[in-house]
Structure 1
Amino acid sequence: MTVSVVQFGGSNCDRDAVRALSHLDVDAERVWHEDGLPADTDGVVVPGGFSYGDYLRAGAMAARTPVMDEVRSLAEEGVPVLGVCNGAQIGCEAGLTEGAFTTNRSARFQCEHVHLRVERADTPWTRAYDEGEVLEVPIAHGEGRFEISDERLARLNGENGVLFRYCDADGNVTDEANPNGSTENVAGVLGERETVAVMMPHPERATLPDVGGTDGRGVLRAFS
């Protein structure tokens, strides 16, 4: 599989994503957004960072670039697409998934390790885990609070569209374990197709044994 990691001005996790995927023997390359996606693209990662300096709001400008039209077309064909952190903001803004990400409850940038509970283990992104398993991965964001209307949240829950929720080390979903104030502790969601997902925590920063642990590997195995 050839994975295109889309690079915008302000992206800063594109190299992390390529290195993590390469460590899993996945062929990955950075692609400058203006160049469009290569014809042999079999998977897409929209990485973290601060595309366009987060002007207007995080992800809003990048979501309206021509390359995201290409990403949406591939997503509709069932090609795996993952948005991480700023990529999650871009994905929501581009309509790949429900909801939006906004300013943390603390109104501060937060960089720390958090725990996630796997809500489903039957998707490409979670097949390496057990349902209810607890992962430890890092976050690094200022606008990571997941927001969604009550109606859309009910639909998302009804369709089992939540991939991960913030929890404590024992798997308890509590307000204390919610680092940014996300609605119902949501940390990652699916799109209309299960091959599309966005998440605020960084699985690519938890794939190397000596750097951040390996709990995030299973997410990226969707590309292998």
Structure 2
Amino acid sequence: MTVAVVQFGGSNCDRDAVRALAHLGVDAERVWHEDGLPADADGIVVPGGFSYGDYLRAGAMAARQPIMADVREAAEEGVPVLGVCNGAQIGCEAGLTDGAFTTNRSARFQCEHVHLRVERADTPWTAAYDEGDVIEVPIAHGEGRFEIREDRLAELEDEDRVLFRYCDADGVATDAANPNGSTANVAGVLGARETVAVMMPHPERATLPDVGGTDGQGVLRAFSG
């Protein structure tokens, strides 16, 4: 599988994503957004960073670049698409998933390790885990609070599209374990297809054994085959 890691001006996790995927034996390459999406891309990562300096609001400008229309089309055809951090913001803005990411409850940039509870284990992104597993991955964001209307949240819940929730080390989704004030402790969600997901925490930063642990490997293994 060849994974296209889409690079915008201000992306800063594209190299991390490529290296993490390579560690798992996945062929990945950075793709400058103006060059368009390669026709042979078997997977897509929209990585973290600060595309366009987060002007207007995080992800808004990148979501409106022509390449994202190609990403949406690929997603509709079943190509695996993962948006991480700024990529999650871009994904929501581009309509890949429901909801939006807004300013943290603390109104500060936060960089720390958090615990996530796996809400489903029957998706490409969570097949390496068991439902209810607790994994530890880092966050690094200023606008990571997941927001969604109450009626849309109910639909997400009914459709079983919540992928991860912030929790404590015992797997309890408490307010104290919610680092940014996300609605219902949501840390990651699925799109209309289970092959599309966005998440605020960084699995690529918890993939290399010597850097940040390996709990995030399971998410990226969705690109393994």
Q: Tell me how far apart the structure 1 counterparts of residues 85 and 13 of structure 2 sit (CA, whole Å).
A: 9
Deviations along 1:92-114, one digit per CA (max 9) or x if unpaired, are 00000000000000000000000
In structure 2, the partner of 1:203 is: 203
Q: Tell me how far apart the structure 1 counterparts of residues 107 and 29 of structure 2 sit (CA, whole Å).
A: 34
Q: Tell me how far apart the structure 2 counterparts of residues 102 and 28 of structure 1 sit (CA, whole Å).
A: 30
Match status 1:159 vs 2:140? no
Structure 1 residue matching 2:207: 3-state secondary structure: coil
Structure 2 alignment gaps of length 5 or more: none
Q: Tell me how far apart the structure 2 counterparts of residues 34 and 97 of structure 1 sit (CA, whole Å).
A: 23
Q: Tell me how far apart the structure 2 counterparts of residues 35 and 92 of structure 1 sit (CA, whole Å).
A: 22
Q: How does 1:179-194 map to 2 (within 5 A)?
A: 179-194=179-194
In structure 2, the partner of 1:41 is: 41
Q: Tell me how far apart the structure 1 counterparts of residues 170 and 79 of structure 2 sit (CA, whole Å).
A: 34
TM superposition shift of 1:195: 0.1
Following TM superposition, the consecutive aligned residue runs of length 4 or more in structure 1 with deviations greater than 2 angstroms are none
Deviations along 1:141-192, one digit per CA (max 9) or x if unpaired, are 0000000001100000000000000000000010000000000000000000
Q: How does 1:125-164 map to 2 (within 5 A)?
A: 125-164=125-164
Q: Tell me how far apart the structure 1 counterparts of residues 137 and 156 of structure 2 sit (CA, whole Å).
A: 24
Q: Tell me how far apart the structure 1 counterparts of residues 173 and 81 of structure 2 sit (CA, whole Å).
A: 27
Deviations along 1:36-82, one digit per CA (max 9) or x if unpaired, are 01111000000000000000000000000000000000000000000
Q: Tell me how far apart the structure 2 counterparts of residues 91 and 150 of structure 1 sit (CA, whole Å).
A: 20
In structure 2, the partner of 1:115 is: 115
Give the structure-2-normalised TM-score: 0.99
Q: Tell me how far apart the structure 2 counterparts of residues 122 and 39 of structure 1 sit (CA, whole Å).
A: 28
Structure 2 residue matching 1:74: 3-state secondary structure: helix
In structure 2, the partner of 1:79 is: 79
Q: Tell me how far apart the structure 2 counterparts of residues 220 and 130 of structure 1 sit (CA, whole Å).
A: 16
Give the structure-1-normalised TM-score: 1.00
Structure 1 residue matching 2:22: 3-state secondary structure: helix
Letter of the aligned partner of 2:105 in structure 1? R
Letter of the aligned partner of 1:105 in structure 2? R
Q: How does 1:42-121 map to 2 (within 5 A)?
A: 42-121=42-121
In structure 1, the partner of 2:177 is: 177
Q: CA RMSD in A?
A: 0.3
Q: Tell me how far apart the structure 2 counterparts of residues 50 and 199 of structure 1 sit (CA, whole Å).
A: 15
TM superposition shift of 1:27: 0.3
Structure 2 residue matching 1:129: 3-state secondary structure: coil
Percent identity over the alignment?
Answer: 87
How many residue pairs get matched? Answer: 224
Letter of the aligned partner of 1:102 in structure 2? T
Letter of the aligned partner of 2:94 in structure 1? A
In structure 1, the partner of 2:223 is: 223
TM superposition shift of 1:202: 0.0
In structure 2, the partner of 1:7 is: 7
